[in-house]
A and B are shown apart, each in its own frame.
Chain A
Amino acid sequence: MQVTVRLTGPFRKYASGEGTSLALSLDEGATVRQALHALGVLLGPPFVAEVVEPLLSGAAPGILLLNRHNLRPPNGLESTLHDGDVLSFVPPMGGG
């Protein structure tokens, strides 16, 4: 199945040439956690260290959306993905 990954704002730098909207192919029934690992393989060590690991450890809340809704680690990481889902990496926002 195919999931769209959107890297916005400062997250664009990890895409280097791939564009800011990527198509990610995953097995049926893959979870968000598995998608993060697949992205890490695709985008390389800086993405893993600076984005994936903080997300997995719960240190970076609010930066990952699934179909416009915030994912809440750790439970959110076990969400099952479906064909056509959109995963967005966004910088945080507080107001003003």
Chain B
Amino acid sequence: MFECYNRRLLRINLSDRTHSVEPLDDDFIRDYVGGMGFGTQLLTTEVPATADPLGPQNKLFVCVGPLTGTLAPLFAQTCIVMKSPLTSGIINTYAGGHLGVAIKQSGYDVIAIEGVASDLVYVTITPDGVRIVDCPELRGKTAREAEAAVKAATGRDDLHTMAIGLAGENKVRYASLSSETRAFGRGGAGAVFGSKNLKAIGVAGIEDVRVADPPAFEAAVAAIYRTLRDDMARPWSLLAGFSNVGTGVGMQLVNEKSALATRNHQLTHFEGASRIDGAAYRENFPTRPVACFGCLVHCGMLHKASTRFGELWTRGPEYETMYSLGSLCFNDDPEALMKANLQCEDHGMDTLSAGVNIAFAMECAERGIIPADLGDGVKLEFGNADAIIRLLEMIAHRQGIGEVLAEGTRRAAQVWDQGAEEFALQVKGTEFAAWMPQRMRGIALTFATSNRGACHKRAPIGLEISGQIPMDQIEGRAALVKDIQDKVNAIFTLVSCRFAEFAVPLEQFVDLLNAAAGTDWTAERFLWMGERLWNMERLYNLAAGISGEEDRLPERCFEVPADFPADQKPLTREDFNALLQDYYRLRGWNEHGVPTAERLKMLEL
């Protein structure tokens, strides 16, 4: 039993520059499964709910799961659980690539990072041991440069890495962690690294990866491959589209349905979308797909181009970035968008939060709340790609208005005031992902209620955008949102890629887990576990001071865009409140969004 686990937690104390290994006991493994489960239990017990996310008490729990490093496809993700500098609540953030398998092979299920180093350091974890190394020479370097330097220093080709750029060092609240061609984008993991004076981590290992029941596991792996191949063989399959041109394949459907947030959600349709969608990048720029470990979809698209900004080489832009630094800023310049994507990779910033902050600044300038002059003749206005590129530098360096924007739209709106709060697109401090609450009721509800803020990962997007359920109706929507929130939590313990859920039935996830771990989960119990984790997060956030009052959307979401489709119903406050109360009821929470004793008992909390 539990052969797929290393049963070990590596604890690294940056203050003392010590490390220790702790066993993970059977109860912990059985109850929390891995990934998000491990991280949530550890964070909620070890970090006080009122701790400063950028202070010494915050910790990062880097977690892999039972299926990490096995032959099962689409389980390459690593989960980091920590307190977010944007929300001050708990957050789980993910990156694919090859870091997860390296961690599993290094002999640990969790790497816990705590304390603050006296000077800038990097950490390596290899068969030679754990090292904490001073690296003043890496200060100010891009994430990619830092990763290369750490790899070179160990002399190991099999070292996989994650690193911060300047934005993390400067504690930009939405600084990301780059990990080779992927990134822990949302929530500010880069800033937490920066607050600990941690520049990078490199991991390599040579341990075997085992499973409890090899024949059953082989059969379950064969089944999921069949499922994925059948799905991708269908004409115009979504996963096949990801495989061909990347996540940008879906942009056109959203745009044609007038659901593509444009000009800071002032509009629903972007004429320039054809210039920056997945097909456009595939056609106009040299493109090479890059896969995460064990993945046949390979949705990552590396693009290389000679542009007016020089030679650019970047993975993306992803669909979400085509919104945040594209339609949202009214930018349809594919070269500039590539440059902006690369800046976010190099400096280590979440493209979503960065883009939303820039669009916010553009609207503030438009309304005369802030000056429109960025210097050197660069005007801060919608559609000006030069302004995007300039602002990204200013934010990473915390210069000029970049100092304010580095704090995120919620804090920036408080500083600049004059009604800016109404069009600051954030919930609980986390900037919107690429979806319009005004158009999609499931999005409206999940943005408002997700534990990590305005997150789209736990939304019934496929059902809504494909028209299988009407986007503008609330009937039954709360139940769908609750179900997907619980389900995604559950599969994020394994640690599954979000896209697996588009094609793979829940039973196949459970079969893989049971064969790997020697357990006897049912689909129902597995979902219950996901719901339990959701409530653990909720309780922690309530203790952190994030009340049900924060389950709300900015005013902009209740304004009707000028190009809103005539035959669709706009989002009203009545509808939103009905949705929210419906959701609270289904979750077994009171009318203020607090879990009732009865529900907590059912969830064994």
- Report A's interface with B, CB cutoff 8 A: 6, 8-10, 12, 20, 50, 54, 59-63, 65, 67-70, 88, 90-96
Contacts and interface: CB of A to CB of B under 8 A. Distances in A.
Contact of A93 (B244, B254, B320, B457): B254
Interface in B447-476: 456-457, 459, 461-462, 465-468
Nearest to A95: B461
Interface of B: 234-238, 241, 244-245, 247, 249-258, 274, 277-279, 319-320, 456-457, 459, 461-462, 465-468, 498-499, 502, 565, 567
A69 B256 CA distance: 9
Contacts of B498: 95-96
A9 B279 contact: yes
B237 A92 contact: yes
A12 B466 contact: no
Nearest to B470: A69
B236 A60 contact: yes
Nearest to B250: A93
A66 B462 CA distance: 18
A67 B461 CA distance: 20
Contacts of B245: 9-10
A8 B241 contact: no
Contacts of B256: 6, 8, 65, 68, 88, 90
Nearest to B460: A95
Contacts of B251: 9, 93
A91 B591 CA distance: 41
A95 B462 contact: yes
A95 B456 contact: yes
A54 B233 CA distance: 12
Contact of B465 (A10, A61, A93): A93
B466 A93 contact: yes
Given A6-B256, A95-B462, A50 B235 contact: yes
A93 B467 contact: no
B292 to A, nearest CB: 14
B274 A8 contact: yes
B252 A59 contact: no
B440 to A, nearest CB: 11
B250 A91 contact: yes
A59 B274 contact: no
Contacts of B320: 96
A44 to B, nearest CB: 17
A95 B502 contact: yes
Contacts of A20: 274
A90 B253 contact: yes
A14 B502 CA distance: 28
Given A68-B258, A92-B236, A9 B252 contact: yes
27 contacts: A6-B256, A8-B252, A8-B255, A9-B245, A9-B252, A10-B241, A10-B244, A50-B235, A54-B235, A60-B236, A62-B467, A65-B253, A68-B565, A70-B467, A70-B468, A88-B256, A90-B253, A91-B241, A91-B253, A91-B278, A92-B466, A93-B254, A94-B461, A94-B502, A95-B461, A95-B462, A96-B247
